[in-house]
Amino acid sequence: MWPLGHAAVAYLCYTGLCRAENRLPESLAVVALLIGSQTPDLVDKPLSWYLGVLPTGRSLAHSLLVLGPLIGVVYLLAARSGRAEYGIAFSIGALSHLLADSLPALWGGTDGSYLLWPLLAVEPYESGPPSILALFTESLGQPYFLAEFVLAGLAVAVWQRDGYPVLSAIRRRLARGVQ
C-alpha cells in the first residue's frame, strides 16, 4: 500500500474509535496517527532500498516483534506526559499499516512472514531493490491500488465531517498570528 492509502486507513480506523467514544479526533493525536501510519515504511524502505542493511522493504518495522515494543514505548512516553491519546493514535496508525499490508497475504497473494521477522525469513530482492517508479507503474490498474483512492476519498469526506483536524488548528493559529 502507498502512503496515501495507509493514511486513509489509519484515519478511518481512528475516527471510528473517536465516534464510538462520542468525540471528534484531536489535531495533535491525528498528527501522531499519521506518523504511526507511515513509520514501518519510513524505517524499512530506506534501510533496505538505499542502505542495503535489511533484506526487503518489509522486515524490521513491519515485524510485530519490533513494532509491538515500539508501540509500547511510544504509548508509555505519551501517557507519562499526560497525552496517552497520542500514544493510542500512534498505535492505531502503526497497526493499521500492518493490517493494510497484510491483506494480500490473507487473500493468499503474498507472503506475510515479515510480520514475525526475524523469526521467519523473508525473501530478499532477487535483482536489487525496486524503483519507486517501477512499483508505481506495476500498481496501475491493480484493484488493491485503485481501492486506495476510494479509501482516500472516503477518509477526506470523513475528515471534512470531523472539522478538518490539524488543518483547522493550523488555520486558527495563523488567524491569531495575523491579527
The b/e string for 70-96 (b: 16+ C-beta within 10 A; e otherwise) is bbeebbeebeeeebebbbbbbbbbbbb
Q: At what angle do helices 167-178 and 27-45 cross, to 10 degrees?
A: 120
Per-residue pLDDT, averaged over 61-67, amounts to: 97
Q: For position 173, what pLDDT does the model report? A: 86
Q: Is 22 left (phi over 0), alpha (psi -120 to 50) or beta?
A: left
Q: For position 141, what pLDDT does the model report? A: 85
Quote the number of domains for the chain: 1
Rounded to the nearest integer, the mean pLDDT of the chain is 93
Decide which of 95 and 134 is more confident.
Answer: 95
Per-residue pLDDT of 8-25, as tens digits, reads 999 999 999 999 999 999
Say which residue the cell 479509501 belongs to. 151
- Residue 104, domain extent: 3-178
